[in-house]
Structure 1
Amino acid sequence: MKKAKIIFWITTIIIFLFEGVMPALFSQSQEAKEGIRHLGYPEYFGNALVVFKILGVLILVIPSIPKNVKEWAYAGFGFDFIFASISYFVIKGVGFEAFFPLIFLVILAISYIYYHKIERYKNIAL
């Protein structure tokens, strides 16, 4: 159980930092705005994405949030990483930028798997 909690929190904190803290700090930088524009998205899309990313990471790290809400947050991040990869692939071709979001998709999947292991253990312990 302890190992599962450690793996869950390490992977979830990586997602929290990458999807919550970094967008909150750097989303209004000129480079971030240009990156969104370069991929063909309007500026307001980037702003909305940042709001939903921050809400999503808060949902993942706050333990008292209901399970079904956490499921939606995991799904949303999964879609985010998949579509980010597709966007980079279509605009820039095959390269590291196209595969980088998939690395975080794997980290997200590990967090998700260990979240359910912890939940299963809680249900058994009751």
Structure 2
Amino acid sequence: MKGKKTRYWLAKVFISLFIFFSAYYSYSHAAYLRQLGFPDYFRIELVTAKCIGGILLLMPQTGRYVKEWIYAGFCICMVSAFIAHACSHDPVSRLIFVGVDFVLILLCIRYVRKYEYGL
């Protein structure tokens, strides 16, 4: 049981660290987000939402349904990133990178939900 709980927390920490890194990148590379077509106010909202979601995900007191909405928000964010990169004619390597990140996030979410719900 201890090994499962360790893997559960490692998956949650991986998701949160990934989102924190994504928020930092969005905040520090404003010109690139403008190139993708996003205005500055959206960039700030996106960074704020990612940071709040990452913090709430790591808090044990966060309710089950709140976590589900956090995971849904992260998935919507990843799908939107893929679409934005595709529409701005970024190289295929960047699309593959975003796609692989999305798959890794989905696998971690699957493992976390399996542990939390006993599926």
Task: Tell me if both proteins adopt one fold, taking TM over 0.5 as the criterion.
Answer: yes
Distance 1:39 1:16 in 2: 24
Distance 1:110 1:8 in 2: 12
Larger Rg: 1
Equivalent residue, structure 2, for 1:81: 78
Equivalent residue, structure 1, for 2:10: 10
Moved over 4 A (4+): none
In the alignment of these two chains, the number of paired residues is: 118
Equivalent residue, structure 1, for 2:110: 113
Percent identity reads: 31
AA aligned opposite 1:106: V
AA aligned opposite 1:104: D
Distance 1:13 1:48 in 2: 22
Change (3 A) 1:102 1:11: farther
Structure 2 alignment gaps of length 5 or more = none
TM-superposed deviation, 1:115:
1.9
Task: Check the 8 A contact 2:19/2:50 in 1, yes or no.
Answer: yes
Q: So what's the TM-score if we normalise by structure 2?
A: 0.84
Task: Check the 8 A contact 2:11/2:112 in 1, yes or no.
Answer: no
Q: Which deviates further from its counterpart, 68-77 or 11-20?
A: 11-20
Distance 2:9 2:69 in 1: 19
Change (3 A) 1:101 1:36: same
2:93 aligned with 1:96: yes
2:48 aligned with 1:48: no
Distance 2:79 2:59 in 1: 24
Task: Check the 8 A contact 1:23/1:50 in 2, yes or no.
Answer: yes
Q: So what's the TM-score if we normalise by structure 1?
A: 0.80
